[in-house]
Structure 1
Amino acid sequence: MTTATVSSKGQITIPAEVRQALHVDAGDRVEFVQVEPGRFELIAATQSIKSLKGMFGRPVRTVSIEEMNRAIEARGSAAR
């Protein structure tokens, strides 16, 4: 079992063997997911944005830039 120490600032250093197993490096993000009270999983959040492509299927209709701008303008004026 690998351990880490929490610093006075609440920071930890992820041990090298854990970083290697998760394929994370400096600047990468990790998530702490609570699986039950008092127990968390550390998950590498290194998925590419490109992996989201196609998640919602094809659009029902295409929207022009002009339509987008009108919708943004209408929403913005309604918020005031």
Structure 2
Amino acid sequence: MKITSKGQVTIPQAVREQAGLLPHSEVEFDVRSNGEVVIRRMSTPVSPIRAAFQKVRGSATAQEFKGMGTDEFMRFLRG
């Protein structure tokens, strides 16, 4: 495998699949003292709206939403 003049390299499909690398995945590089380079998938930051959904996922009766109307719920989700 060669590095292009722009410093790019193609990660083989089998390696991408095994590492869980999808298009637009963020990665970080760790250069070790012996010259090895480790490419690591970075965790995706969670947006506030996704965090709100994760907080109540699987529960339609979450305490925070008891008695909350649709408009109030949408205001909560939108921050």
Alpha-carbon distance in 2 for matches of 1:29, 1:48: 8
3-state DSSP of counterpart to 2:28:
strand
Map 1:1-80 to 2 at 5 A. 4-45=1-42, 47-50=43-46
Matched residue SS, 1:36: coil
Count residues with an aligned counterpart.
Answer: 47
Q: SS of the counterpart of 1:32?
A: strand
| Alpha-carbon distance between aligned partners in 2 of 1:20 and 1:38, rounded to the nearest angstrom | 25
Cα distance in 2 for partners of 1:11, 1:17 equals 18
1-side partners of 2:38 and 2:15: how far apart?
12
Contact 2:26 2:44 in 1 (8 A): no
The CA RMSD over aligned residues, in Å, is 1.8
TM-score if structure 2 supplies the norm length? 0.50
Give the percent of matched residue pairs that are identical in Structure 1 and Structure 2.
Answer: 28
Give 1:21 shift.
0.9
Could you tell me which runs of 5 or more consecutive residues in structure 2 were left unpaired when the two chains were aligned: 52-79
